[in-house]
Chain A
Amino acid sequence: MATINVKLKIWRQAGPKETGHFETYDVTTDTDTSFLETLDILNEQLVQKKQEPVAFDSDCREGICGMCSLYINGHPHGPATGATTCQLYMRRFNEGETITVEPWRSAAFPVIKDLIVDRNAFDKIQQAGGYVSFNCGGAQDANDLPISKIKADMAMDAATCIGCGACVAACKNGSAMLFVSAKVSQFALLPQGQVERARRARRMVKKMDELGFGNCTNTGACAAECPKNISLSNIARLNREFIKAKCSD
């Protein structure tokens, strides 16, 4: 445990329609303290000075809820790989370093305040088809449906997506393909998802396009920055699913 001094260069924006700007703050923190706890320290200082604290999203602080975001030094969720912002510890930074902190930058994720963006578009894509149409109550015994362990594990790997939006923030086109492909893949790999397989791919892609996300040019920045290491192969699968669906139209 050691003390560390950093400069936080943070995007401040009072509201959705206001003009934003960067402000720089000096903060003394600790190498074993998390990045978000360092923002807590900054906010405590600001409140002490009767100034408006920095608004940022965070909830579980253990890397699973997908609430936290932040574009830190040019990377969604900061310099660590396979981790969210809330799992980022100050030992990753150097003494005296200036750390630039921005909100997700994407047309589909408008800024609400400071570092908080509106990710409602992700829910809308899921509503378009990210489910098995099944009413509670009528299920068969769970073990009546054997599923290959390999397929189940692949489905699980796709299903670990936390819907944080880092893939969109990382993409130069602001594409949501990795996010959409994760859900489409989960169900394409499982027997439960077969009946609605074509409809799902068609509808989720259509909704994604409608909501202002960009196109995919296979750059791979999304998978490189994904805190849950969702694989780019899911995008390939989504493309296949989409083409198959279109052919069956």
Chain B
Amino acid sequence: MELNKTTDGLVIPAADSKIPEGPVAEKWTNYKAHQKLVNPANKRRLDVIVVGTGLAGASAASTLAEMGFNVLNFCIQDSPRRAHSIAAQGGINAAKNYQNDGDSVYRLFYDTVKGGDYRAREANVYRLAEVSNNIIDQCVAQGVPFAREYGGLLANRSFGGAQVSRTFYAKGQTGQQLLLGAYSSLNRQIELGKVKSFNRYEMHDVVMVDGRARGIIAKNLVTGKFERFAAHAVVLATGGYGNTYFLSTNAMGCNCSAAIAAYRKGAYFANPAFVQIHPTCIPVHGDQQSKLTLMSESLRNDGRIWVPKNIEDAKKLQAGTIKGSDIPEEDRDYYLERRYPAFGNLVPRDVASRAAKERCDKGFGVNNTGLAVFLDFSDAINRLGIDQVRQRYGNLFDMYEEITDVNPGEFACNKNGVDYYNPMMIFPAIHYTMGGLWVDYELQTSITGLFAIGECNFSDHGANRLGASALMQGLADGYFVLPYTIQNYLSDQITVPRFSTDTPEFEEAEKACIEHEKALLAIQGNRSVDSIHKELGHIMWEYVGMGRTKEGLELALSKLKELRKEFETNLYVPGTQEGMNNELDKAFRLNDFITMGELIAYDALNRNESCGGHFREEYQTEEGEAKRDDEHFFYVSCWDYAGNDNAAPTLIKEPLHYEAIKVQTRNYKS
């Protein structure tokens, strides 16, 4: 990519974002009408590697195979069905307007752009809203058992950042059902021989031939051997980088190594500082904790968030001398309803998380660590009865009880004629990453032939993702966008024969992977992978978490340098390269998490504004709201690898252009 050198630094030329001509509502239609296609006979001759089997990966792999391409599909788990999309609870958005509450493609588009604090690429978001309806049709056709009304039609519920009910759901297991739907389509293609499935394989590197992505080196996690795979195009659907923080709602195996491998090969990494901190997670309870558990945002439909009005009550709660249910209605501060009357408990996630932090920072936290707020269902139970509330959230109540030993549906006491039930305790936690590999409108990265879809790319959620939009984006990319746009690239590849992997490029790449593992094993220091990863997590949460400052970020960068040194000199990895070695695999991933941590910190330090999930304490209003700076930061920050992990990456900007939406200050108050 030839960059423009301007007084404002390096800038991606507008043409390279490949946004189609025309009004925003017609761009996707125009694109599909004029894009190049590949005929059926040629599709049979083209191979595509899809790394990952979550919603984006599984849907892309199955759809490409249905079209006639040959697909090689990889996952690190023992089955494609276990990708972390499976854990999504609440639902998936679509602009069906089945509830007749004023929804439309435009409104979903507008809510998503506004929710993302005006840092998403407008054309991509419109396309997302446009195909959202097709996703629901597709999933129902597959046999996904969405929740229904007694009349047999689909049910909806509300999510944060919206004033309509547009979220489709399957109990509290929507991600599971959508993923199993995609997995079923994938299975059909595996049976038909169009998809070759490689389970317990981990991608270690992208192989470049003549400046294009032409394959990958993947490790067979059972035998420990590296294997070479070639294809006409490579698609990464490898998820986000939330586990950089060690504690997050991500699964244990979620990692950013595939994306970082692409970054080291020249793919730009966009907006890494945009990390989503989810407001409703079960609070941290101790040093041995391995992950944080999310309580679905859907709970905010009926749950009310509060802390005590009086600091004395908070102190008693922290000391454990009283319980939440001992505090009567008039002494409770429903701070979201107080600060944001128009959206109340359903403000977007970044706003709800920051408001919780603000109350806890002022000393109003409600547990022994002072880092928790209440989510209370007393009102809903009194209004609807426990049975109906349990029908909506029963599995979440059970999950909460199993972890904390407290049943949130249990009657606690009656005060002045009002029944009070045990509230849940919640606190924000790292959940999702809006940043990711930079992609153009076709979802191609800055490496020719390398595509990124789902959470792995950056384009649709701006600085903050709305609830129930991750499932929508993963499936939009995989079912309806990539299978079209990749053909525009593959149409040029029809005369390229299948590749041999017996080339110097593959040999060199494989050798580098083997040598890298050897080096990790040879350190023979004293610290386990997890102990260094936990330290990384502490640095990230403390200085690159919910509240960031210039000084803190500079300190984080110097601490991360020291941590890298510790990793390189004092790591201990047991075992050998032969056979299964989980510790070695974790060490490989941790090396990339450290690089990722630095990327997040560099980006956060550069962005001298507060927007969405990125909150710089220097940039806030008197009321404590985020203060954006559109004059200086109305761009996507793309980071270009400097050639080695110790050097700072180069900033490249993609200016944002909004045509259909007027950029304004977010307001959830009125």
Contact = CB atoms under 8 A, between A and B. Distances in A.
Interface of A: 1, 14-15, 29-30, 32-34, 36-37, 40-41, 43-44, 46-48, 50-53, 55, 57-67, 80, 82-83, 87, 89, 91, 112-113, 116, 118-120, 122-123, 126-128, 130-143, 145-149, 152-153, 155-156, 159-160, 162-163, 186-187, 190, 192-193
Nearest to B289: A37
B143 A61 contact: no
B77 A67 contact: yes
Interface string B130-156: 000010111111110111111111100
Contacts of A34: 290
B143 A152 contact: no
B136 A64 contact: no
Contact of A50 (B77, B398, B572): B572
B78 A57 contact: yes
A159 B145 contact: yes
B403 interface: yes
Given A66-B81, A142-B136, A126 B143 contact: no
Contacts of A36: 290
B192 to A, nearest CB: 9
Contact of A146 (B62, B152, B177): B152
Interface in B178-198: 180, 183-185, 187-188, 190-191, 197
Given A163-B79, A186-B145, A136 B483 contact: yes
Central interface residue in B138, B139, B180, B579, by most chain A CB within 10 Å: B180
Nearest to B574: A52
Contact of B580 (A67, A113, A147, A153): A113
B77 A131 contact: no
B185 A131 contact: yes
A141 B252 CA distance: 38
B276 interface: no
Central interface residue in A15, A82, A160, by most chain B CB within 10 Å: A160
A87 B152 CA distance: 34
Interface of B: 59, 62-63, 66, 77-84, 86-87, 96, 98, 134, 136-143, 145-154, 170-171, 173, 175-177, 180, 183-185, 187-188, 190-191, 197, 199, 222, 251-253, 285-286, 288-291, 293-294, 398-399, 402-403, 405, 479-480, 483, 528, 530-531, 572, 574-575, 579-580, 582-583
B484 to A, nearest CB: 10
B140 A123 contact: no
A186 B86 contact: no
Given A55-B580, A116-B580, A192-B142, A152 B86 contact: no
A53 B583 contact: yes
Nearest to A147: B152
B243 to A, nearest CB: 12
A149 B148 contact: yes
Given A61-B291, A126-B187, A44 B176 contact: no
A87 to B, nearest CB: 5
- DSSP class of A's interface residues: helix, strand, loop or mixed? loop
A30 B86 contact: no
A186 B144 CA distance: 9
Contacts of B173: 64, 160
B87 A62 contact: yes
A126 B182 CA distance: 12
Given A67-B82, A112-B222, A127 B190 contact: yes
Nearest to B88: A64
Contacts of A134: 141-142, 185
A149 B149 contact: yes
Given A132-B141, A142-B96, A152 B148 contact: yes
Contacts, number: 216
Given A36-B290, A44-B531, A139 B252 contact: no
A162 B260 CA distance: 31
Contacts of A14: 579
Contacts of B183: 126
Contacts of A187: 143
B285 A32 contact: yes
B388 to A, nearest CB: 14
Contact of B141 (A60, A122, A186, A192): A192
A66 B134 contact: no
12 contacts: A44-B528, A60-B82, A65-B86, A66-B79, A120-B79, A123-B190, A123-B199, A126-B187, A127-B190, A140-B137, A156-B145, A192-B143
A58 B191 contact: no
A64 B86 contact: yes
B77 A51 contact: no
B239 to A, nearest CB: 12
Nearest to B185: A131
B653 to A, nearest CB: 36
Contacts of B185: 131, 134, 136
Given A131-B142, A145-B140, A87 B288 contact: no
Contact of A83 (B175, B176, B191, B402): B402
Given A127-B187, A163-B79, A163-B81, A142 B399 contact: no
A80 B530 CA distance: 28
Contacts of B136: 142
Given A15-B579, A131-B142, A143-B154, 7 more contacts: A34-B290, A37-B289, A59-B77, A61-B291, A64-B175, A112-B580, A132-B143
A44 B534 CA distance: 12
Given A44-B528, A112-B580, A37 B288 contact: yes
B152 A148 contact: yes
A238 B228 CA distance: 42
A50 B402 CA distance: 34
Contacts of A91: 405
A140 B139 CA distance: 11
Contacts of B187: 123, 126-127, 130-131
B137 A60 contact: no
Contact of B402 (A47, A53, A80): A80
A249 B379 CA distance: 57
Contacts of A1: 285-286
Contacts of A148: 148, 152
Contact of A29 (B86, B153, B175, B288): B288
B180 A53 contact: no
A190 B145 contact: yes
B176 A160 contact: yes
B345 to A, nearest CB: 23
B399 A139 contact: no
A208 B151 CA distance: 37
Contacts of B82: 59-60, 65-67
A108 to B, nearest CB: 14
